[in-house]
Amino acid sequence: MEIKDTALPDVKLILPKVFGDSRGFFKEVWNQRELAQHGLDVNFVQDNFSRSCRNTLRGLHFQDEKPQGKLVWVSRGEVYDVAVDVRRGSPTFGKWVAEYLSCQNHRMLWIPPGFAHGFRVLSNEADFQYKCTEFYDPDDERCIRWDDETLAIDWGDVDSAELIISEKDASALSLKAMFEV
């Protein structure tokens, strides 16, 4: 595996080795020993899977008291994946980074605890998978507006009227309202 820093040093882009032939391909998604050698010594407790259609935008979600680290990838389709630093006192608080993840490029993203996460589906459908370091707690989940002016996330060339957004995500708070900054 190759592990690269992103514009936010705690968020890592992971490029697994992919072995392909006429039958298809094989790749190792998780190897605790190898990733620990790169400083990612984490314990996963929950795996999640979502399927979404084109222009679905999910996020920006995080857990406040029980933050989740997430290793994310796409097993079918393509998404634009975003991580936002919401760690109070962090020098990169409120900064974001994004990567294109697809079943073709095999990229994975490590999003450490203390980051909000969201993605927009670019393909007709996308199967999105993630391993989490903490159990999901609906009472601890928080959501920041995807179109927060302070964050100014570039979600790509899309008409916001075409986006498919849950009621929860559409009524999310801004970063300022969430953290009173």
Determine whether 106 is an active site residue. no
Annotation says 61 is catalytic: yes
Question: Which strands sit side by side in the sheet containing 141-143, from one edge to the other?
Answer: 96-102, 78-85, 115-121, 57-63, 141-143
Q: Are 101 and 64 in contact (CB under 8 A)?
A: no
Q: Which residue in 80, 106, 117, 130 is the catalytic one?
A: 130
Q: Which residue has the tokens 């060339």?
A: 157
CA–CA gap between residue 79 and residue 87 (Å, rounded): 25
Catalytic one of 61, 80, 106, 117: 61
- Contact 1/39 with Cβ under 8 angstroms? no
Residue 26: half-sphere exposure toward Cβ, Cα within 13 Å? 3
- Taking the C-alpha atoms of residue 8 and residue 81, their distance in angstroms, rounded to an integer, is 14
Alpha helix segments (H runs only) across the chain: 32-36, 167-170, 175-179
Residues involved in catalysis: 61, 130
